[in-house]
C-alpha cells in the first residue's frame, strides 16, 4: 500500500522532468515495486543507482533531496558554507550537477562548479584548494551506462566519514521530496554570483601536483615509448594526455572510438579497466600500433588498467594488485636510491588487496596500514597523518580494484596520477632493457608467488538484496574449510575490528597463507568474493584458487 501511495504521489508531482513523467506512466506493477520499495541508499559513498523514475532511482528529485539534506548539514556545521561540484560523462551527469548547484544556491551555500566534465580526483583537489566545506561529484565510476551517482567529500577532500554520512542521511530523511526542497535556476545563480565556475588555474594546479609525483629525481629515461591510451568515453582524455605530454611522453595514440565523452559507452558496455572486455579495443590498437604500453582509465578517471607485451610478443593485462605492487616497489626503490624516503614511511592498502604489498613495504622499511575496502579509508588515513604533521610520511596507497595514489594532494584514488606514474615506471625499466613482466617475476622470486582473484555475483532488486543478506548469514555459520584449506581464523568486521568502522565484511584466514573475503558491494547489487593464494608457482596457485572458489560458490548458488 505504501509503495502504491508513493507512486501515485510521484505521478501527480514529478512533472518537471518529462523523462521521469513518461516512465512513471508506462510502469507495470513489478517496475513500480522495484522503483519504490526503498529510498536510494545514502552512505559514505553517497548515492548510486539506476537512472530513472522512483525513490530507488537516480533522478533530479532524488538528487535535489540529497542536496537539500547536505545543505542543511553544512549550514549546521559551517558559518559560510560552500561546495565544489564536478561531473563526468554519464547520462544526465551535467543535469544532476546543475540541479544540485541550484539547490545549494537556494540554501545560501556558495557553489563552485567545474565548467566542463572532470575526473573525480579534481573535485577532491578543488575542495582542498578552494577551502570549500564539501565537494560533490556526480558519477557512477565504472558501473554500466544505466547507472549514475552522487559522491560527497568533506572539507578535507576525503569522502565523508561514516559519522558524517549518518548525520547527512538523518537530514535527508526529514525531508519530503516534493514539499521541503528549495531550488533555484542554475543560469540565474551564475548571473548573480551564487554559483561560480572553478577557474582554470585550479585545473593547472592539479596537473602540476600530479607532475610533481615523479621519483626520477633528475635521472634521464627514454620517454619515446609508444603508448596507446583509452579514456573509455570518460573524463580522462584531456588531463591524462596533457600531463603525459608536458612530462615528455608525446608518442601517444588515443583509441578513437573511446576518445570522446559518451555516457552510453557504445564499445564497452561495462566501462571498467578491471574487465578484459573493456580493454579489448585498446588491445587491438596496441597490436596495430605495436605499442609498448596500453593504458585505460575508467569514466571518472580514478582507476587505470594496463597491458604490456610478454616474451611471445602478445599483450598481457596486469591486475590491479600486480600494477600496485610494481608501483610500490618502483617508488620505494627510487626514494631509497636518492635518499628521499621520509623518516616514518607509510603504505596504506585495503584488506582485500594482495598481502604481498605488505612484504614489499616491510622490505623497504615502510609501515603498512590496512583499511576497509574503499579508497575513502585510505584518504582518511592520509588525513590522520596530516593532522599529526606527518603528511610527508605517506608514500603510496593502493587497492586491488585498480586505484592508486602517490601523494597527499588529493584524498581519493587518481587515474591521472596512476597513468603518469605507470608511464614513468615503464620508461625507467625499459631504459634498462627490463619489462614490467620481468620485474614482476623478480618480485615473485623474492617474495613467493601470490595469486589474488575477484568473483562477483549479481543480485538485482528487492529479492536480490534480501538474498545477499541471507548469504552473508550463511557464511557466518561456522564454515570449517574452503577447497581443503582449513579456516584458521574468521575476522568479522560487522562489529568493527582493529579500530576500523563497522562493516558487513568477512575475512577467512586459511592455512598455507591463503585467505577469502566476502562482502556485499556498497555501490552495485553484487556480492564479491576475493581469494588470495600463496603457492610455489602460478599453476599450483590457480589449482588451489579454483578449489577454494568452488567451495565458496556452494554457499551462494
Q: Pick from 334, 311, 538: which is nearest to 437 by CA?
A: 311
Q: How far is CA 165 from CA 43, 69, 160, 319, in A?
A: 5, 11, 6, 32
Q: How far apart are CA 375 and CA 404, in angstroms?
A: 9
Q: Which long-range contacts (CB under 8 A, 24 or more apart) does 364-368 make?
A: 364/332, 364/333, 364/335, 364/336, 365/341, 366/332, 366/395
Q: How far apart are CA 61 and CA 383, in angstroms?
A: 33
Any catalytic annotation for residue 141? Answer: yes
Placement of cell 575476522 in the chain: 491
With a CB cutoff of 8 Å and minimum separation 6, the contacts of 245 are 252
Q: What secondary structure, in 3-state letters, does 266-289 show?
A: CCCCCCCCCCHHHHHHHHHHHHHH
Q: How far apart are CA 337 and CA 50, in angstroms?
A: 49
Query: Catalytic: which of 93, 133, 141, 503?
Result: 141
DSSP H/E element including 47: strand 47-50
With a CB cutoff of 8 Å and minimum separation 6, the contacts of 271 are 142, 144, 145, 232, 233, 234, 265, 278, 298, 299
Q: How far apart are CA 60 and CA 57, in angstroms?
A: 10
Helices (H), 14-59: 18-26, 29-36
CA atoms within 13 Å, Cβ hemisphere of 429 = 22
Q: How far apart are CA 94 and CA 230, in angstroms?
A: 22
Residues known to be catalytic: 141
Amino acid at each position: 500500500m505504501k509503495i502504491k501511495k508513493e507512486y501515485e504521489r510521484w505521478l501527480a508531482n514529478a512533472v518537471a522532468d518529462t523523462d521521469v513523467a513518461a516512465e512513471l506512466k508506462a510502469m507495470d506493477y513489478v517496475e513500480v515495486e522495484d522503483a519504490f520499495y526503498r529510498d536510494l541508499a545514502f552512505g559514505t559513498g553517497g548515492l548510486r543507482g539506476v537512472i530513472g523514475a522512483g525513490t530507488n532511482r537516480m533522478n533530479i528529485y532524488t538528487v535535489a533531496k540529497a542536496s537539500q539534506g547536505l545543505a542543511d548539514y553544512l549550514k549546521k556545521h559551517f558559518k559560510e558554507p560552500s561546495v565544489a561540484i564536478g561531473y563526468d560523462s554519464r547520462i544526465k551527469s551535467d543535469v544532476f550537477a546543475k540541479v544540485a548547484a541550484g539547490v545549494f544556491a537556494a540554501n545560501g551555500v556558495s557553489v563552485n562548479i567545474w565548467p566542463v566534465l572532470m575526473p573525480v580526483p579534481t573535485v577532491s583537489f578543488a575542495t582542498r584548494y578552494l577551502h570549500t566545506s564539501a565537494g560533490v561529484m556526480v558519477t557512477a565510476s565504472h558501473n554500466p551506462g544505466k547507472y549514475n551517482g552522487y559522491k560527497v567529500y568533506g572539507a578535507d577532500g576525503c569522502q565523508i566519514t561514516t559519522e558524517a554520512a549518518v548525520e547527512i542521511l538523518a537530514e535527508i530523511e526529514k525531508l519530503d521530496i516534493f514539499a521541503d526542497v528549495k531550488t533555484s535556476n542554475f543560469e540565474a545563480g551564475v548571473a548573480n554570483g551564487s554559483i561560480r565556475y572553478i577557474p582554470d588555474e585550479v585545473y593547472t594546479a592539479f596537473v602540476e601536483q600530479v607532475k610533481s609525483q615523479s621519483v626520477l629525481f633528475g635521472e634521464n629515461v627514454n620517454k619515446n615509448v609508444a603508448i596507446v591510451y583509452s579514456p573509455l568515453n570518460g573524463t580522462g582524455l584531456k588531463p591524462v594526455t596533457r600531463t603525459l605530454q608536458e612530462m615528455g611522453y608525446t608518442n601517444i595514440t588515443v583509441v578513437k572510438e573511446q576518445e570522446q565523452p559518451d555516457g552510453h559507452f557504445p564499445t564497452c558496455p561495462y566501462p571498467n579497466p578491471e574487465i578484459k572486455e573493456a580493454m579489448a579495443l585498446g588491445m587491438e590498437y596496441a597490436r596495430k600500433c605495436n605499442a609498448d604500453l596500453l593504458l585505460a582509465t575508467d569514466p571518472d578517471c580514478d582507476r587505470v588498467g594496463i597491458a604490456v607485451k610478454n616474451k611471445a610478443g602478445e599483450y598481457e593485462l596486469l591486475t590491479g594488485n600486480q600494477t600496485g605492487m610494481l608501483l610500490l616497489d618502483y617508488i620505494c626503490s627510487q626514494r631509497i636510491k636518492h635518499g628521499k624516503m621520509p623518516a616514518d614511511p607509510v603504505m596504506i592498502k585495503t584488506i582485500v588487496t594482495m598481502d604481498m604489498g605488505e612484504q614489499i613495504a616491510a622490505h623497504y622499511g615502510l609501515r603498512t596500514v590496512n583499511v576497509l575496502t574503499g579508497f575513502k579509508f585510505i584518504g582518511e588515513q592520509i588525513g590522520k597523518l596530516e593532522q599529526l604533521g606527518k603528511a610527508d610520511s605517506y608514500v603510496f596507497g593502493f587497492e586491488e580494484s585498480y586505484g592508486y595514489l602517490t601523494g597527499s594532494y588529493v584524498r581519493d584514488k587518481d587515474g591521472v596520477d596512476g597513468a603518469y606514474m605507470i608511464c614513468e615506471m615503464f620508461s625507467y625499466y625499459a631504459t634498462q632493457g627490463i619489462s614490467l613482466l620481468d620485474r614482476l617475476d623478480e618480485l615473485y622470486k623474492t617474495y613467493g608467488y601470490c595469486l589474488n582473484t575477484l568473483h562477483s555475483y549479481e543480485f538485482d532488486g528487492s529479492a536480490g538484496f534480501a538474498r545477499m543478506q541471507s548469504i552473508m548469514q550463511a557464511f557466518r555459520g561456522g564454515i570449517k574449510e574452503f577447497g581443503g584449506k582449513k579456516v584458521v581464523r574468521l575476522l568479522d568486521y560487522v562489529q568493527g575490528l582493529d579500530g576500523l568502522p563497522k562493516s558487513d565484511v568477512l575475512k577467512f584466514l586459511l592455512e598455507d597463507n591463503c585467505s577469502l573475503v566476502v562482502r556485499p558491494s556498497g555501490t552495485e547489487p553484487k556480492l564479491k568474493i576475493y581469494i588470495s593464494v600463496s603457492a610455489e608457482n602460478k599453476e599450483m596457485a590457480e589449482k588451489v584458487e579454483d578449489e577454494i572458489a568452488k567451495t565458496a560458490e556452494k554457499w551462494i548458488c
